[in-house]
Structure 1
Amino acid sequence: MNKIHYLKGDAVYPQARGNIIITHICNDIGVWGRGFVVALSARWMAPEIEYLIWRKEGNNFSLGNVQFVKVTSTTSVANMIAQHDIIPKNGVPPIRYEALEICLEKIAQRAVELEASIHMPRIGCGFAGGSWKIIEDIIFKTLISKNIEVYVYDL
């Protein structure tokens, strides 16, 4: 079985060849602007623009859904809606693990179709308030178990 490859660097500059899917977590209220998305938008504007259009149109803009945005001939960004709102409520962080698992299952299907590797920061652990141990377990269940190469970047 594969493992998660932990790398020093920035997920917006993937350290691999071939087809690549960069994944990150978005909220379900249509707010873009803090955390990883700042670096993402500095590199490519399309993921932000498409996310805001998606929110405005409302087509499946809800927890557990994924929007794939092609940014180069071999690289796509996956906007995953796996965060409810942007602030904790009654001690519950915004991350929604069940939604994340659903999103990563959808990404796994796409990765298998494209023979793509997955690249991400430590998703869900910043403003979303998640536990990396729980998220890592979800990554193993949804991606690693399907022999998909996964790269996690730490700055």
Structure 2
Amino acid sequence: MKTVKGDLVSLALQNEFDVIIHGCNCFCTMGAGIAKLIKQEFPEAYKADLETQKGDKEKLGSISFADKLVNNKRLIIVNAYTQYHWRGNGQKADYEAIKSCFKKIKEQYSGLSIAYPAIGAGLAGGDWKVITRIIEEELAGENHTFVEFSK
């Protein structure tokens, strides 16, 4: 896993990556954290989220995606359903769902440059050390980058 400091959305708009991933809940909100920024900058990703069934627990561990042309280059934005809801305190990140999402990402986007924030470790309250191990295992052999938020 490579690590860079910066803003995932800004770096994506500079064509640094082919695929960006962010964690979503299963209620089609994208109302906080990086999901809110993704929704604002890439409304196509929010539209893809809205095409899934709101509140469906079966979405956990699945992905939806949208394509956007950025400076004449295809960018794929992946909505990874890594938590069921967003309410309350404590851990909302589902490690099995994270594992499933990253497995699907490798199956669909192998060979592309992939980037993500600290999925599941921010507002979702997961342990980044655990999540890092999952990502490294599922994306073994891939060109993937953790973008540690920094202004």
* TM-score bracket, shorter-length normalisation: 0.7 to 0.9
Cα RMSD over matched residues?
Answer: 2.2
Percent identity between the aligned chains? 27
Where do 5+ consecutive residues of structure 1 fail to align? none
Q: Name the CA distance, whole Å, in 2 between partners of 1:52 and 1:138.
A: 27
Conserved 8 A contact 2:30-2:39: no
Query: What are the ranges of 5 or more consecutive residues in structure 2 without an aligned counterpart?
Result: none
The Cα shift of 1:21 comes to: 1.1
Give the equivalent residue in structure 2 for 1:80: 80
Give the Å deviation of 1:153. Answer: 1.2
Equivalence map 1:120-139=2 (5 Å): 120-139=116-135
Of 24, 29, 32, which aligns to 1:31?
Answer: 29
Closer/same/farther in 2, CA of residues 46 and 61 from structure 1, 3 Å limit: farther
Q: 1:133 to 1:19 in 2, by over 3 A?
A: closer
- Cα deviation, 1:3-27, whole Å, max 9, x if unaligned, reads x111111111337868611011100
Contact kept in structure 2, 1:67 and 1:78, CA below 8 Å: yes
Q: Select the residue among 141, 147, 150 that pairs with 1:153.
A: 147
Cα deviation for residue 29 of structure 1 reads 2.2
Q: TM-score of the superposition, structure 1-length normalised? A: 0.83
Contact 2:28 2:50 in 1 (8 A): yes
